Amino acid sequence: MEASPLPGLSAEQIARSRRPLEDAWTLPAAAYVRQDIHALETERILRRSWSPLARVDQVPEPGDFIAMDLAGQPVLLVHGLDGTFRVMANVCRHRAAPVAQGTGRRKLFTCPYHAWSYDTEGRLAAAPLMEGARDFPSDDCRLTQFRSEVWEGFVMANLDPQAPPFAPQVESLRRYFEAFGIGDMVVARTLTYDSGWNWKVLVENFMEAYHHLAAHAQTLEPGFHARDSSVPDNDGPWSILHMPAAAPDPGRPRLVQGLPDWQAGALFAAVAFPHFMFAMHGDGMAWYQVMPMTGDRFVLKIHVCVPRHVLDMEGADDVLTHLEQATAAIHAEDIAVNDLVWRGLNAPASGQGRLSPLERSIWQMNQWWLAQMGA
């Protein structure tokens, strides 16, 4: 019998998931529920992939910062006094306490343990009562710096110093949505959820319209028929789900101006693997920020984003409240079915299921996931 490269996943199960879409099966339940798989996933994927930490409009002024967790590493996103966005370890170089929490604006980050202070570039600015320490301070007293890029208004970060740049890998994805002007959008409202499943359950749900038939039978399905959805070829670590409108209305005014008719009325879901997800429509964008905590828990923030000019419109608050409520209503329906999926995946008799041709995005994601995991 052929040995499996992943614990809990047999070679036969992996081969089933590797088949062409028309013959393919889902990943086995072990890929979601086993903690040793999550540990490997964290090492081989989450700490080697690009993740969006914030939109630039969330840290608009020099000194603005956000402290958060990235694949188990406390990080600090800082808009430096020199205008540069940096991502640094939120770990003091003395005794490892975090130097900041939450969000705010500062010129110095002072550790609450022994009052060592760092500037917005991570350089040590003060270390009280260290006069007797030989050859101090040294270069390694600076907060550890991580790879970062600004892409279409997102501040991206990667813990792997050897990772290839993000932008070239998703250039086709950027061009596909170029008319939307993603880089000029701003976060208008944010919804936060503590989610009790493996993060891949949400990504898979996000990337197929097949479930409109049942989960969204009264909300999304009437306007975006599951049967009409399609997934284009991809040439990198990303996938796009195109959901055309059931009854196009090219004359309806949209908040996003200048879109071609085929995009103005449609709904799109996109993911840059592993979990950088955003939904595009004629009135803006919903960015699903996924922050895995354990194998069975992640924090989700859904950021409702609109073109900047919308904030100055008459009645803008009503428009944004409507978008927020619609986003929350759809996600409430997704929570209900994802809870069911998670219960089933944890059942002793849970196995693999056949993929529908409408689930091509899941298949694309699975091929990438298996390759990154060494399978």
Contacts of residue 94, Cβ cutoff 8 Å, sequence gap at least 6: 111, 113, 114, 116, 127
Query: What does the mean pLDDT of the chain come to?
Result: 96
Q: With bands split at pLDDT 50, 70 and 90, how would you rate the model's confidence at 248?
A: confident
pLDDT at 251 exceeding the cut of 80: no
**Rounded alpha-carbon distances, angstroms, from residue 36 to 115, 228, 253, 326, 346:** 38, 39, 50, 37, 15
pLDDT at 35 exceeding the cut of 80: yes
Give me the CATH code for the 60-145 domain, please.
Answer: 2.102.10.10
pLDDT at 5 exceeding the cut of 90: no
pLDDT at 65 exceeding the cut of 90: yes
Average pLDDT over residues 237-261: 93
Average pLDDT over residues 149-156: 98
User: Exposed e or buried b for every residue in 278-290, given b needs 16+ CB within 10 A?
Assistant: bbbbbbbbbbbbb
Q: With bands split at pLDDT 50, 70 and 90, how would you rate the model's confidence at 2?
A: low
Average pLDDT over residues 264-292: 98
Closest CA relative to residue 4, chosen from 27, 23, 22? 27
Angle among Cα 297, 153, 67 to the nearest 5 degrees reads: 45
Is the link from the previous residue into 60 a cis peptide, with omega within 30 of 0?
Answer: no
CA atoms of 216 and 276, how far apart (whole Å): 23
Q: With bands split at pLDDT 50, 70 and 90, how would you rate the model's confidence at 243?
A: very high
> Domain-by-domain residue ranges, the chain?
11-48+168-372, 60-145
pLDDT at 76 exceeding the cut of 90: yes
pLDDT in tens, 296-350: 999 999 999 999 999 999 999 999 999 999 999 999 999 999 999 999 999 999 9
pLDDT of 107 = 97
Q: With bands split at pLDDT 50, 70 and 90, how would you rate the model's confidence at 249?
A: confident
Is the link from the previous residue into 137 a cis peptide, with omega within 30 of 0?
Answer: yes
pLDDT at 1 exceeding the cut of 60: no
Q: What fold, for 11-48+168-372?
A: Naphthalene 1,2-dioxygenase Alpha Subunit; Chain A, domain 1 (3.90.380)
pLDDT at 291 exceeding the cut of 90: yes
pLDDT at 138 exceeding the cut of 90: no
In this structure, what token pair is assigned to residue 373? 């995991």
